[in-house]
Chains A and B, each alone.
Chain A
Amino acid sequence: GQNIDQPTEMTATEGAIVQINCTYQTSGFNGLFWYQQHAGEAPTFLSYNVLDGLEEKGRFSSFLSRSKGYSYLLLKELQMKDSASYLCAVRGGNQGGKLIFGQGTELSVKP
């Protein structure tokens, strides 16, 4: 079967660092995406990992370990506007482009 697990919710303080974990079991692997989704809005792309290691983009970094079926999204210098749902999605090995999403992690940033 195909399964993607991430925590349901997390709380962090403005200015702090938070790490959102994602573990996956899928039929094949062709990359892992992180999306941000504010309430009532469409998901927006944050990062893409296909090889092991860390990808850094400003305040956001994403890490992938294919052997462990594990990724994390690291958010630094948290701002109130970072309060949103963070979706981990894996592209499987068979159908081109098809993404399988986790349930999302609802992050609340408190002052």
Chain B
Amino acid sequence: EAGVAQSPRYKIIEKRQSVAFWCNPISGHATLYWYQQILGQGPKLLIQFQNNGVVDDSQLPKDRFSAERLKGVDSTLKIQPAKLEDSAVYLCASSFGQGPYEQFFGPGTRLTVL
């Protein structure tokens, strides 16, 4: 089966610019996650969706980050305006549901903010 797709794979922007990332989860997976992984650290959950509803966005910097999953399938994560400390890999993952299900990760988008 096809895995989690993300685009773009790489993005370089200057601080204060805006950027958007796209994620297409595995077909049939109701739960979608966005993680931020700074170099040398483990992934940190930014936001979790169950279908098109938000389950957890407690660690999402809402003054500059936003995410949506309007039709319960694809999702976009936006940063506006970007800061230097936003340089990281943004990983999208999906799972069948919220229970004890394995999370499958996409290849990630590597963001560099100059």
A residues at B contact (CB < 8 Å): 4, 30-31, 33, 40-45, 48, 50, 87, 89, 91, 95-104
- The answer to whether B41 touches A42, judged by C-beta atoms less than 8 angstroms apart, is no
- The answer to whether A97 touches B107, judged by C-beta atoms less than 8 angstroms apart, is no
- The answer to whether A42 touches B105, judged by C-beta atoms less than 8 angstroms apart, is yes
- The answer to whether A103 touches B42, judged by C-beta atoms less than 8 angstroms apart, is yes
- The answer to whether B43 touches A97, judged by C-beta atoms less than 8 angstroms apart, is no
| Interface residue tally for chain B (C-beta within 8 Å) | 28
- The answer to whether A97 touches B44, judged by C-beta atoms less than 8 angstroms apart, is no
Total A-B pairs, Cβ < 8 A: 63
B residues at A contact (CB < 8 Å): 4, 31, 33, 40-45, 48, 50, 55-56, 91, 95, 97-108, 110
- The answer to whether B107 touches A41, judged by C-beta atoms less than 8 angstroms apart, is yes
The residue in chain A whose Cβ has the minimal distance to the Cβ of B91 is A42
Contact of B41 among A40, A43, A48, A104 (CB under 8 A): A104
- The answer to whether A48 touches B102, judged by C-beta atoms less than 8 angstroms apart, is yes
The residue in chain A whose Cβ has the minimal distance to the Cβ of B43 is A101
Interface of A is mostly: loop
5 additional A-B residue pairs with CB within 8 Å, beyond A43-B91, A103-B42? A43-B43, A97-B103, A99-B45, A103-B41, A104-B41
Contacts of B102 in A (CB 8 A): 33, 45, 48
Alpha-carbon separation in the docked complex, A91 to B33 (Å): 14
